[in-house]
Amino acid sequence: MPPAARIEPTGLGRGRGHWASIDYPSFEKFIKEDLNASVFWSGAAMRIRAENPGFAYGYPKEGFSLWQDNVAILADAKNVDNAKLFFNFIMEPENAALISNYTRYGNAILGSEKFMDKGLPDAPEMNIPAEFKTAAHFLVTCPADVQQIYTRIWTDLTK
């Protein structure tokens, strides 16, 4: 496969002709090696690597975002007690591991790793190498007016 063209930062529309893909999921494209590089979710990358052992997950030394899924109860929730029961259920180590085994994402529940699929807790997608930990950061939510600009740009990009 030929190397990807260099995209110059001269405008969003000009780079579009050089993109191999702007969609999700691109699983098949990575499995078949029609795509060689992308920003991708760790759990999705792990599923791709299961189908194509040549696929590698990496961490850019320049920096990358940390993220985590969360559960929450809305302020106007009608059944708070059942929501709390559900939270307690999914936070049982065996149940948290079932979720991780399905999604291929980690969790913060102590003791769940002993119920996870073999190799999952040690997978590269679940463990940031020590030399890259200082490059990781959580994103700060942008103000609403900036989010509107991002939405407009994304909408234009995907036309």
Burial code (b: 16+ CB inside 10 Å, e: under 16) for 36-51 equals eeeebebbbbbbbbee
Length of the chain measured in residues:
159
Report the first-to-last Cα separation within the chain, whole angstroms. 27
pLDDT reported for residue 32: 87
Spatial separation of the C-alpha atoms in residues 122 and 11, rounded to whole Å = 40
Q: What is the pLDDT along the chain (159 residues), one digit of tens a residue?
A: 344 444 344 445 555 666 666 665 678 888 888 887 887 888 988 989 999 988 889 999 999 998 888 899 999 999 999 999 999 999 999 999 999 999 999 999 999 999 999 999 999 999 999 999 999 999 888 999 999 998 988 888 777
The DSSP bridge partners found for residue 64 are 136
Q: Full-prediction pTM beyond 0.75?
A: no
